[in-house]
Structure 1
Amino acid sequence: MTFEELKPKVLDILHHDDKIRDEKLLQICRLLEENVDYYDWVGFYFRNGDKEELVLGPYIGEPTDHTVIPFGKGICGQVAVSNKNFVVPDVKAQDNYIACSLTVKSEIVVPMFVDGKNIGQIDIDSNVLDPFTDLDERFLEFVNEEVAKIF
């Protein structure tokens, strides 16, 4: 399924008033993981109040021990500080990478903003080397813009 085909499905999930926010986020994770071949782990991390750390939210994929990530640590922690997308074509080439699984080869993390403040991010791991393109970035920015509206 193309990103353009996935966009209305994301909107449909977010506009169901009968579901709580975490259920919607989990459905989005599942939608992406099931419909993008190289999205092997899809999850959200959110800022933990005023603390400079991220807390794992809804996700689909292998369980992770990384439920709390300090700002600056790993790819997610770096995005929390930089407020910029981070695409890692090969995780083995990253000094500040936190390994979640031996099968992960690449990662993309895109921040989410509410009223200009970084509240969290979507994190995608892939078992494929260098699969992410500008299209992934634009699509995940769209997802985060829409998700931000329910916060």
Structure 2
Amino acid sequence: MTEFWDIAPFSWQGVLTCAACGWLLGLERQLRGKPVGIRTAILIVLGTYVFMRLATSLSDNSLDHARVLGQIVTGVGFLGAGVMMSRDGQIQGVTSAAVVWLMAGLGMIIAFDYGRQALLLCGFVLFVLVGLDKVESTFSALRRGVHRKWESSRKKPEIPDQHG
């Protein structure tokens, strides 16, 4: 029965670490109403872990590993680009795209058995996303230009009265 649960070359510890990092970052994004939520985040971290771990198990050549790593970085860059959009002349979703890119990095770190380091980096990313948001909200000088909060800068259009 234990053979059934063996997922070599992957590990359950790696899979659970991927799920934890993805859940934490996805929860932060989802609570803010951003395009990348919990499920997507877990799948990005886990997907990069799977591809990188598979590459390391198929070849002992570190150049092969570097090629796969480079392809993941490029491919996930396109995935992140899909998160960005333009609204009223301002580009939105850049932070979410950067988080997607970083999630892939976490998956690769976990694939090389640096799970503890991945969890620590995940905590630091959460600090950047939550803590620096609080700093930006505190100091008005940090809320200029593109860093102005969308909701506060948008004026509701006046609807003319139907009677005149």
Q: Normalized against structure 2, the TM-score is what?
A: 0.28
Query: Which structure has the highest strand share of the two?
Result: 1
In the superposition, the TM-score normalised over structure 1's length comes to: 0.29
Higher helix proportion (structure 1 or 2) = 2
Look at both structures and tell me which one has the larger radius of gyration over its CA atoms: 2
